A and B are shown apart, each in its own frame.
Chain A
Amino acid sequence: MARQQQSEKCASHKPARMGRASGILLFLMLALSASVVFAQAPNGGAAPRSASDPQAADTKGDEGGSIMLRWTLSPDDSAGQVTGYEIFRAAKPDGPFQSVGFASRGSARFADGSTDDDSAYYYKIVTTGPGGSTETAVIGPARSTAEWFNSNRANVLVIGLLISGAVLYYIASARKGKKLFIRRIAGLEAVHDAIGRATEMGRPILYIPGIQDMDDVQTVAGVTILGYVARTIAEYDTKLEVPTSRSIVMSTARETIKAAFLSAGRPEKYSDDMVNYITDEQFGYVAAVDGIMVREKPATCFYMGAFFAEALIMAETGNSIGAIQIAGTAMPAQLPFFVAACDYTLIGEELFAASAYLSNEPRQLGSLKGQDVGKSIAMLAIAAGTALFTLNQILRVEWFASAGQWLKNLFIVN
């Protein structure tokens, strides 16, 4: 193969590239000269014709301080005679006018974001080009105001309230003692076995709560599961190691483990050495974790939280030392690697479900139910919307299309 490549290199490659390069150059020159010729053609270097129909009005759904200007493009816009539209503003119709911004060729709107609310402003739009400029009539007065509700986002509010309501409703009913059924999650049984295995082998357990800070809900889920693991470990003499990538996660994990050992009746077994901060830097962190792995040879590795590229570096190193590995993350990009390299993987939402399942707390179980309501809405919407649009395609009944569009609009975000 090497020889073949070499011969290719000698024989044809370089001339071909040079040929291509000069071809490109030639083409560019041609295109350039052509554009010059055409640009000159329609209106021979004169000023472009003006934009028309200018309008100025308050920008809707904002916090004020902005006026939206719209106009119809100059008829010369597409011919390359217009460089853009400059917006001038004044407090009185007869000036003095000051430039407040510039919209490039082809754009027919501009938001002047530097207005004082409730003062009157007058605008004119100046169409500029290589051959000069022309202006529209002065428009105004326009005033900016702040709105109290962004009606474009009403649908987000409705859907947000619906899902939040469902979550809160189920949390309340779970707290009242209502039994909520949650299906078994494959891989969770493995957690217990994996802890047992480490105990039998007399080797440590490594727990990685992701590399994000406590403000990431995945880290919160990871630390919750850590609490469960610690409670189980407290019964045995297994060593637990938790290297963290964030200082706040370190202190939170310490307190969580301490509490878990306390509730298992073994507070004396806890020590701060179980949890250590390494560095915020992703790869510095993984360099150190890899070192811990090959030196301490844990029997079991848990990866529960938010992960990035370091996921596979850790999982492959863990694999090379023969550890049982259980992962869980809601970072879609890293899931494939965990699925490939670990024995069990909690996929996306399952991570949150696992923390609910293991902690068995009503508020977590309840919110899991609430999420299921959300998914039901999603599935219903997909099924109904698809059916409506498809029926319209087959039967050509307009009503189906408008109903489908109505449904779809519920999810359109502005």
Chain B
Amino acid sequence: MAENPTEMKTGLFDRLMRIDRRVIFVFISVALIVPLFFNVSQRIQVSPEVQMLNDAMSKVPDGALVLYAMDYDPPSAPELQPMAVAAFKVALAKKFKMVIIGLWPQGPQQANMAFETATHDPLFKDVKLTYGVDYVNLGFQSGNEAVIQKMGSDIPTTFPRDYAGTPVDQLPLMKGIKNLGNFDFMVNISAGYPGTREWVQFGADRFGLKMVSGSTAVQTTEMSPYVGKQLLGLMGGMRGAAEFEQVSGYPGRAIKFMVGQSVAHVIVIVFIVIGNIAYFATRKKRGA
């Protein structure tokens, strides 16, 4: 109490320099929780990579044979699940023949969930698909990039049985499919290794697969140099998912979640600003 005003001010900035991180945690929680209670959405500017992706997918002819490689697990699902759902919706609209696989053990399960969500959309209530004829889920194979390498030469021996244990030669859709060269297009949803990088290196570079990717925000920076010839489009993180939902015309979860994102980003930035103000204030003090 005996401090004079300037000292008190310094004290304030000193405290601001070292805010207990749990204070930040509380702010972040509130920022993300509150908007969930309100049904607001924002207009989102679509980035060139997502536009490319959407264009590339629209150019794939209806009824084409498309590989869906789902290389992620539940922890990344908040970002990636909306992408998978939207990508399946495009497939339903364009009547793609789908082969679903996963290089992550949990990938095929996630794919099933996303597929379910997509087919339950009222837009597609008239679309009736038959398992084995219109789509198959071949499940997971271990071996990371080795699996892709082998798919380049022979898919039926790489995935001898599907997700439910049925031998692939009993699946009508698999009849004409020998290797990666048979696919007209590929959608990869990826949370890390093995994922988009391996599909680019082994699928696109070696076997000429035409592919697009949805990836977690964190690895998007690593993937963006591949965009162009190797990768025909890329959506990164929840923002990418929201952009794709918007541009493809199938709004979903991602668009809704973007509000909380905005608030949380603002909070992080406010804290960065506070940290810098406090830093300069105390530095002057120290210098003087």
Do any beta carbons of A and B sit within 8 angstroms of each other in the complex?
A: yes
Structural contact, B181 and A8, CB atoms closer than 8 A: no
Alpha-carbon separation in the docked complex, A413 to B205 (Å): 7
Knowing A104-B63, A308-B193, the reply to whether A113 touches B184 (Cβ < 8 A) is no
Which residues of B lie under 8 Å from residue A101 when comparing CB positions?
176, 178, 182
Which of A83, A320, A333 interacts with B221 by CB under 8 Å?
Answer: A333
Choice from B40, B184, B205 contacting A104 with Cβ under 8 Å: B184
Q: From residue B64, how far is it (CB to closest CB) to chain A in Å?
A: 5
User: In whole angstroms, what is the CA distance A360 to B21 when docked?
Assistant: 41
Tell me, rounded to whole Å, the shortest Cβ–Cβ distance linking A382 to chain B. 14
Q: Is A409's beta carbon under 8 Å from chain B?
A: no
> Is the Cβ of B176 less than 8 Å from the Cβ of A105?
no
> Are A5 and B35 interface neighbours, CB within 8 A?
yes
User: Which label, helix, strand, loop or mixed, suits the secondary structure of the A interface?
Assistant: mixed
Which B residues from 211 to 254 make CB contacts under 8 A with A?
218-219, 221-222, 249, 251
Tell me the complex Cα distance, A333–B223, Å.
Answer: 10
Residues of chain A within 8 A of B63, CB atoms compared? 83-84, 104
Contact between chains at B218 and A113 (CB < 8 Å):
no
A283 within 8 A of B: yes
- The answer, yes or no, to whether A9 is at the interface (CB within 8 Å) is yes
Q: A287 at interface (Cβ–Cβ under 8 A)?
A: no
Q: Mark B55-98, 1 if CB is under 8 A from A, else 0.
A: 00000010111000000000100000000000000000000000
When the two chains form their complex, are residues A5 and B259 in contact, meaning their CB atoms are under 8 A apart? yes
Q: Place the interface of chain A in its size category.
A: 20 to 34
Q: Who on chain B is nearest to A306 by CB?
A: B193
* Alpha-carbon distance between A14 and B256 when the two chains are bound, in angstroms: 13
* Given A5-B35, A413-B205, A102 contacting B40 (CB threshold 8 A): no
Q: Which one of A6, A63, A100, A113 lies within 8 Å of B181 (CB-CB)?
A: A113
Q: Is A114 an interface residue (CB 8 A)?
A: yes
Q: Is A202 an interface residue (CB 8 A)?
A: no
Rounded to whole Å, the gap between the CB of B140 and the closest CB of chain A is 15
Does A185 sit at the interface, judged by CB under 8 A?
A: no
Interface presence of A107 (CB below 8 A): yes
Q: With an 8 A cutoff between CB atoms, is B157 at the interface?
A: no
A160 within 8 A of B: no
Collect the chain A residues with CB atoms within 8 Å of residue B192's CB: 308-309
Q: Mark A55-73, 1 if CB is under 8 A from B, else 0.
A: 0000000010000000000
How many A-B pairs with Cβ below 8 Å? 57
Report yes or no: A102 in contact with B176, Cβ–Cβ below 8 A.
yes
Pick the residue among A8, A308, A413 that contacts B40 (CB under 8 A): A8
Once the chains bind, are A5 and B40 in contact (CB under 8 Å)? yes
**Contact partners of B218 in chain A: CB under 8 A:** 309, 333-334
Question: Which residues of chain B have C-beta atoms less than 8 A from A105's C-beta?
Answer: 61
A residues less than 8 Å from B221 (CB atoms): 332-333
CB closest chain-B residue, reference A312: B218
When A333-B218, A333-B222, A413-B205 are in contact, do A106 and B61 touch as well, CB less than 8 Å?
yes
Q: Does B39 contact A (CB under 8 A)?
A: yes
A104-B63, A309-B218, A413-B205 known; A24+B249 contact, CB < 8 A: yes
Of all chain B residues, the one with the shortest Cβ separation from A8 is B40
Are B39 and A333 neighbours in the complex by a CB distance under 8 Å?
Answer: no
A63 to B249, CA, bound (A): 44
Beta-carbon nearest neighbor of A99 in chain B: B176
Q: Which residues of B contact A1 (CB under 8 A)?
A: 263
Task: Give complex CA distance A309, B38 in Å.
Answer: 30
Provided the pairs A104-B63, A105-B61, A283-B75 are in contact, do residues A5 and B38 lie with their beta carbons within 8 angstroms? yes
Q: Say yes or no for A175: interface residue by CB 8 A criterion.
A: no
Q: How far is the CB of B6 from chain A (nearest CB, A)?
A: 30
Say yes or no: A13 contacts B40, CB within 8 Å: yes
Q: In chain A, what residue has the closest Cβ to B266?
A: A1
Task: Report chain B residues within 8 Å CB of A201.
Answer: none
Which A residues touch B21, using CB under 8 A? 316, 320
Distance from B21 Cβ to chain A, minimum over Cβ atoms (Å): 7
Least CB distance, B99 to chain A, in whole angstroms: 14
Residue B179 is within 8 A (CB to CB) of chain A in the complex = yes
CB neighbours (8 Å) of B65 from chain A are: 104
- Return the contact of B219 from the options A114, A316, A320, A333 (Cβ within 8 A): A333
Minimum CB–CB distance for B209 against chain A, Å = 13
Residues of A within 8 A of B182 (CB): 101
Instruction: Please provide the chain B residues from 10 to 47 with a CB less than 8 Å away from any CB of chain A in the complex.
Output: 21, 34-35, 38-41
A113 touches B179 (CB 8 A): yes
In this assembly, does A111 line the interface, its C-beta being within 8 Å of a C-beta of chain B? yes
Residues of B contacting A24 in the complex (Cβ-Cβ under 8 angstroms): 249
Is A383 part of the contact surface with B, judged by Cβ < 8 Å? no
Residues from 147 to 195 in B contacting A, C-beta threshold 8 Å: 153, 176, 178-179, 181-182, 184, 192-193
- Per the 8 Å Cβ criterion, residues 5-19 of A in contact with B are 5-6, 8-9, 13-14, 17
- List chain B residues, Cβ under 8 A from A99: 176
B219 to chain A, nearest CB (A): 5
Of all chain B residues, the one with the shortest Cβ separation from A413 is: B205
Contact across chains for B178 and A104 when beta carbons are under 8 A apart = no
Taking Cβ atoms with an 8 Å cutoff, the residues of A that contact B are: 1-2, 5-6, 8-9, 13-14, 17, 24, 63, 83-84, 99-102, 104-107, 111, 113-114, 283, 308-309, 316, 320, 332-334, 413
6 additional contacts (CB under 8 A) given A8-B40, A9-B38, A333-B222:
A13-B40, A84-B63, A104-B65, A114-B178, A333-B221, A413-B205
18 contacts between A and B (CB under 8 A): A5-B35, A5-B38, A5-B40, A5-B259, A9-B39, A14-B39, A100-B176, A101-B176, A102-B176, A104-B61, A105-B61, A107-B184, A113-B178, A113-B181, A114-B178, A333-B218, A334-B218, A413-B205
Task: List 10 A-B pairs, minimum CB-CB distance, nearest first.
Answer: A5-B38, A105-B61, A113-B178, A5-B40, A104-B64, A333-B219, A332-B222, A333-B218, A111-B181, A9-B39
